Amino acid sequence: MGLAVLPARLKDELTLLEKCLINEADINDYESLEKHKDWFEEIKNQEWTKDNVKDQLQYELTKVFVRVLEDAGVFKLDEKGKKYFIEFIEEAIEGEE
């Protein structure tokens, strides 16, 4: 499985978020983190420590990235999306006959 290429600015923002999650900084002090506040509120009550913050934040970021990929898909991963995908495949097969 490959790696996602994230915007360069995100590296600095994630470093600041790490500090906020382990209570070494306040998210409200950083304008650049404004866009992450809702996400921060969702994850802040987990067990964050200096030892786990990098790995745990990467895990949380991965979950967000997966949701973005699911939302970007032509066929959603729900019953309606599966139905349309099957119809698409059936039409593609019929078109080759």
Nearest to 32, CA basis, from 8, 9, 7: 9
Take residue 26 and report the two structure tokens written for it.
Answer: 């306040």
Q: How far is CA 64 from CA 8, 17, 25, 43, in A?
A: 17, 15, 23, 11
Global confidence as pTM: 0.73
Asked if 13 contacts 38 with a C-beta cutoff of 8 angstroms, the reply is no
What is the domain partition of the chain in residue ranges?
A: 8-96
Q: What is the pLDDT of residue 50?
A: 98
Count of residues making up the chain:
97
DSSP 30: -
Rg (alpha carbons) of the chain, rounded to whole number? 19
Per-residue pLDDT of the chain (97 residues; tens, 9 = 90+): 455 677 889 999 999 999 999 999 999 999 999 999 999 999 999 999 999 999 999 999 988 887 887 777 778 888 998 998 889 888 887 765 5
Asked if 10 contacts 3 with a C-beta cutoff of 8 angstroms, the reply is no
Q: How far is CA 33 from CA 10, 22, 23, 45, 67, in A?
A: 10, 15, 15, 18, 20
